[in-house]
A and B are shown apart, each in its own frame.
Chain A
């Protein structure tokens, strides 16, 4: 228990650090959201000054940080200049869309990577393994951008799938079932891009981890006992190879919010990625800080999840950290 508390405390300090760091960067920024307004002759200087005071842009950094912390506690995460509303609800809608995409993609990726990696390790050095190694190498060197654009190009050329977006224009008029179908149809492309871009690395890790334990004496013994190959591979070998994979899974969970940024922008999926890009271009500072903080929270959460799983899966770690 103390182990987890220490971990949580560490993560909390980390979040404070990240928020401080983002705030520090904002002071380096030349100009702010109001600069654009200043060029507009229709807006009086008094109005601008009032807005500056309202957004606290005239306050020194520590004051702004404290008042931002205050709004964080109240669940607002600061104020968006462009949307004229608290940041948190805006982020939540976008984060939901992103998660819808990435959770499904992550499940698919792991569901494919585990059997493929085990299969590859089983045939280590032989033809299937070699083919798969080449396949993953191609996947690794194809830039995510090229992959996403290529899939989009394919969809546009063949007309099989809708070219981006999350729902059709007349989505609201559809029946419930039709809505679901429409959503799924729009999801195929971005999910495919995400799965294909993360799969090669996952397969390689699974293969390496399983190949590491395949020669172990206990597996030879188990084989000698006539335990079927499937059970041997998935029940014994995979379990012994689990530790690095659990850490990797934690990382997968951690990048749920941040990993799909490029794909979202390319396929115009209304997730966190395009939202953040827009905010950057508009200098909507608190939205940027909120987005960075939220994705950091996920990354830390993913690491924490991996720690919990490791603790649960590996008796050595349990023993090391007190409780038995």
Chain B
């Protein structure tokens, strides 16, 4: 049962991440391509039925035109429908950052089709959302990987060797747990250079996030290691003369796999949010590189909030990603728990 649920969530997440990883294919335009003539264009709704009531199998959108005798109000120009073309050649991009390509899932004939509208520079919001996901999700992944690496290192050393090392490491971890983590993130960011190139900022953020988060998984892993090293088979192996390194690597660390996987499913979305928060506040990845945080940051301007509500749409599109991770984390947690209970009832005395 839990296994099937787990697979389902994994498939959902794989699909969603596929969209982002292959952003070049799924997004019709280059995220940096500007069109100063079409600034703050509202989202274009996909239509199947035209004004006369005829059904079309090829979806189409209407271009926006200025409403007569208003300076800035727009309305759909129903006289000129723009049919959607599938598998069109368009802007050049590199699939997975390697393979050069120019095939896109969809696009317009000669006018641009912007499903989520455009921003202050006339850039396509839909493309920016997908490309921004690459930055945000990658930051989440790498941040979680770094955190878990540090956490596993600290946790296993502390749990396995115990004694003074354990005490010292755990007191140090408590320090990090005592700090409110968003503040810690801020403080750490405060003490690092502010104006940096996007690439440097990206790695800076990952470093900061990784450095802040290691304490909690470290403590959890320590607990698992603590109980694992007293298991009978570990003791037996030690009796046969196994070295510490062998025991840790082959017998103790495999026991922590469940905890690490669950923690990863919890930490990745948390760190995506951290990146979003930092970028939203202008402390993270700077323009023109899109990220989920700086996609939303222009909503801080009152005028944008009042007039261009569709700038908020990316925030809603992120929700399925977080839902996927929540589902994954809870089914992983359930699996680890049932696994533990099973083993306990099978008579694992320790």
Which A residues are closer than 8 A to B by beta carbons? Answer: 14, 17-18, 21-22, 25-26, 28-31, 137, 140-146, 149-150, 152-153, 156-157, 163, 254-255, 257-259, 261-262, 265-266, 276-277, 279-281, 283, 285, 288-289, 291-292, 295-296, 299-300
User: Which residues of B in the span 253-306 have a Cβ within 8 Å of any Cβ on A?
Assistant: 273, 276-277, 280-283, 293, 296, 299-300, 302, 305-306
A31 CA to B312 CA in the complex, in Å? 36
Across the interface, A288 reaches (CB within 8 A) one of B190, B276, B309, namely B190
* B281 and A17 form a contact (CB under 8 A): no
Residues from chain A with Cβ under 8 Å of B184 in the complex: 292
Residues from chain B with Cβ under 8 Å of A289 in the complex: 187
* B182 and A262 form a contact (CB under 8 A): yes
Across the interface, B315 reaches (CB within 8 A) one of A146, A276, A296, namely A146
B249: CB under 8 A from chain A? no
A288 CA to B179 CA in the complex, in Å? 13
Known: A141-B323, A145-B277, A299-B179. A292 touches B187 (CB 8 A): yes
* A296 and B191 form a contact (CB under 8 A): no
Residue of A at shortest CB range from B191?
Answer: A29
Across the interface, A22 reaches (CB within 8 A) one of B182, B187, B318, namely B187
Residues from chain B with Cβ under 8 Å of A257 in the complex: 180
- Return A190 CB to nearest CB of chain B, in Å: 15
* A280 and B189 form a contact (CB under 8 A): yes
Residue of A at shortest CB range from B189?
Answer: A280
Which B residues are closer than 8 A to A by beta carbons? Answer: 171, 174-175, 178-180, 182-184, 186-194, 273, 276-277, 280-283, 293, 296, 299-300, 302, 305-306, 309, 312, 315-316, 318-319, 322-323, 326
* A141 and B281 form a contact (CB under 8 A): no
Residues from chain A with Cβ under 8 Å of B305 in the complex: 152-153, 156, 163
Residue of B at shortest CB range from A261?
Answer: B182
A157 CA to B305 CA in the complex, in Å? 8
* A25 and B326 form a contact (CB under 8 A): no
Residues from chain B with Cβ under 8 Å of A279 in the complex: 190
Q: What are 5 A-B pairs at a CB distance below 8 A?
A: A18-B175, A30-B192, A31-B193, A280-B186, A291-B183
4 new A-B contacts at CB < 8 Å, known A149-B312, A280-B187: A266-B300, A296-B178, A296-B180, A299-B180
A198 CA to B47 CA in the complex, in Å? 39
Residue of B at shortest CB range from A287?
Answer: B190
Residues from chain B with Cβ under 8 Å of A140 in the complex: 326
- Return A194 CB to nearest CB of chain B, in Å: 14
Question: Which 5 A-B pairs give the minimum distances between C-beta atoms?
Answer: A258-B180, A146-B315, A280-B190, A29-B191, A141-B322
Residue of B at shortest CB range from A29?
Answer: B191
A28 CA to B300 CA in the complex, in Å? 31
Residue of B at shortest CB range from A164?
Answer: B302
Known: A26-B191, A266-B300. A300 touches B178 (CB 8 A): yes
A153 CA to B312 CA in the complex, in Å? 8
B-side binding surface: helix, strand, loop or mixed? helix
A288 CA to B283 CA in the complex, in Å? 15
A31 CA to B193 CA in the complex, in Å? 8
Across the interface, A145 reaches (CB within 8 A) one of B183, B186, B276, B302, namely B276
* A292 and B183 form a contact (CB under 8 A): yes
* A145 and B296 form a contact (CB under 8 A): yes
Residues from chain B with Cβ under 8 Å of A285 in the complex: 190-191
* B190 and A153 form a contact (CB under 8 A): no
Residues from chain A with Cβ under 8 Å of B312 in the complex: 146, 149-150, 153
* A143 and B187 form a contact (CB under 8 A): no
Residues from chain B with Cβ under 8 Å of A255 in the complex: 180
Residues from chain A with Cβ under 8 Å of B323 in the complex: 137, 141
* B178 and A258 form a contact (CB under 8 A): no
* A29 and B192 form a contact (CB under 8 A): yes
Known: A149-B312, A277-B186, A280-B186. A299 touches B280 (CB 8 A): no
A144 CA to B319 CA in the complex, in Å? 11
A289 CA to B186 CA in the complex, in Å? 11
A144 CA to B280 CA in the complex, in Å? 12
Residues from chain B with Cβ under 8 Å of A163 in the complex: 302, 305
Residue of A at shortest CB range from B273?
Answer: A143
* A258 and B326 form a contact (CB under 8 A): no
- Return A275 CB to nearest CB of chain B, in Å: 12
- Return A144 CB to nearest CB of chain B, in Å: 8
A288 CA to B189 CA in the complex, in Å? 11
* A295 and B183 form a contact (CB under 8 A): yes
A142 CA to B187 CA in the complex, in Å? 25
Across the interface, B193 reaches (CB within 8 A) one of A21, A30, A266, A288, namely A30
A261 CA to B189 CA in the complex, in Å? 15
- Return A236 CB to nearest CB of chain B, in Å: 27
- Return A98 CB to nearest CB of chain B, in Å: 12
* B309 and A153 form a contact (CB under 8 A): yes
Known: A17-B175, A25-B191, A265-B281. A258 touches B315 (CB 8 A): no
Residue of A at shortest CB range from B187?
Answer: A292
* A141 and B319 form a contact (CB under 8 A): yes
* B322 and A21 form a contact (CB under 8 A): no
- Return A68 CB to nearest CB of chain B, in Å: 15
Known: A17-B175, A137-B326, A153-B309. A145 touches B315 (CB 8 A): yes
Residue of A at shortest CB range from B305?
Answer: A156
* B193 and A276 form a contact (CB under 8 A): no
A289 CA to B183 CA in the complex, in Å? 10
Residues from chain B with Cβ under 8 Å of A295 in the complex: 179-180, 183
